[in-house]
Amino acid sequence: MQAMELSAREILDHLVGFRSVSSDSNLDLIDWVEGYLASHGVKSQRVYNAEGTKAALFANVGPEVAGGVVLSGHSDVVPVDGQDWATDPFTVVEKDGRLYGRGTCDMKGFVALALAAVPLALKAGVKRPLQIAISYDEEVGCVGAPPMIAQMVKDLPKAAAVVVGEPSMMRLVNGHKGGAGYKVHVKGFEVHSSLLPYGVSAIMEAARLVGWINDQNTAIQARTPTAIAAMFYPPHTTVHCGKFAGGTAHNITAGDCHFVMEFRVVPDEDENEWADRFVAECKRVEGLMQAIQPNTRVTLDRFFDVPGLRPEEGGAADALVRRLTGDNAAEVVSYGTEAGQFQAEGYSCVVCGPGDIAQAHQPNEYLDVAQLESCWGFMQRLVQDLAD
């Protein structure tokens, strides 16, 4: 097979052209990446979802020895439905020093650069491997990375560092909040509102749980932040209800209520402990409901679970990115990434990638050409570091 000699920009054109919205399959994109790697003699491995409709992919470029570097990105993008785009979102359009297209910034730009570094690493004869990791379904709760990472731990030599290329303007991010989210269904019992004590209003019982959320935020904000929490904005864990719907009429106790809530947890706290507290409160409220009508209930669907990324004292990934970027500062962010999932499996991990996070998910999303070039310089220095 003839090697596919493509620049990062040319690879980006291909990747953006695949409509890998989280609701759809990404297998056409994965097929292309697999073929690209194979054209350079690099074997890759897939990790499918349960339905076989999506896959993550990882590969080892260079010798099969420990101490390499993982470049990690996700293949999925958010939808463009309802957004006002000036250009075709699935075609890269260059204008005024910007590359417009869905995923150019978040985060197919980084994936394209990582893939462009593969032949560079082969030609340099790296002594430690460059490893590529591409996940699915990051945008719907980082659900595709954990099975991929677990398989990498089994099948690849352990890397010394992981760089997750979420857009950070090529600045070092070594900490972020974790998170967990629940879709909540409160099943009540309908009666005429004049008979309120004999029914169970799903809305009013759900409101107890939203009241619990408000109480937690009040208590959290009254505490003095820890040293880790003080690094973040806001400097504490947050609990939030973002969607709430239920009921059929003003004079009927609501039979159903649905709401969605989430935790954003500073990395020196445990998102599972917070989740357990919410579950316990749901069981308490359910008990009050069932004392009136036994067939009522509170049902929980935990739809995402992302561990935080804790800044590492003397971490290998931190030192690597500082060395390659010359960035002596470090930042933390309040959103979550797959970096915390790598760290949870024992990898040293940071976030560093091209583009501005403010562009993520926006209409007319773009990546500055200057950021693409800056990250390409990073890739060249990384390959040289692995070759030395």
Q: Is the pTM of this model over 0.85?
A: yes
Per-residue pLDDT of 109-118, as tens digits, reads: 999 999 999 9
Which DSSP category does 50 fall into?
T
Residue 69: per-residue pLDDT: 98
Per-residue pLDDT of 204-228, as tens digits, reads: 999 999 999 999 999 999 999 999 9
CB 376 within 8 A of CB 116: yes
Task: Tell me how many degrees the CA angle 321-350-18 measures, rounded to the nearest 5.
Answer: 100
Q: Which residues contact 191 (CB under 8 A, 6 or more apart)?
A: 198, 199, 252, 253
Tokens of 259: 């709401």
DSSP letters, 254-270, are: -SEEEEEEEEEE-TTS-
**Active-site amino acid positions:** 76, 138
Going across the sheet that includes 173-176, the strands are: 44-48, 55-61, 130-135, 69-74, 161-164, 349-351, 173-176, 331-333
Tokens of 322: 């500082």
Residue 44: per-residue pLDDT: 98
Per-residue pLDDT of 358-368, as tens digits, reads: 999 999 999 99
Confidence of residue 330 (pLDDT cuts 50, 70, 90): confident
Burial class (CB in 10 A: 0-12, 13-18, 19+), 374: middle
Residue 332: per-residue pLDDT: 95
Q: Which residues contact 283 (CB under 8 A, 6 or more apart)?
A: 298
Over 90: is that where the pLDDT of 380 sits?
Answer: yes
Per-residue pLDDT of 27-42, as tens digits, reads: 999 999 999 999 999 9
For β-strands 178-187 and 256-265, DSSP reports them as antiparallel
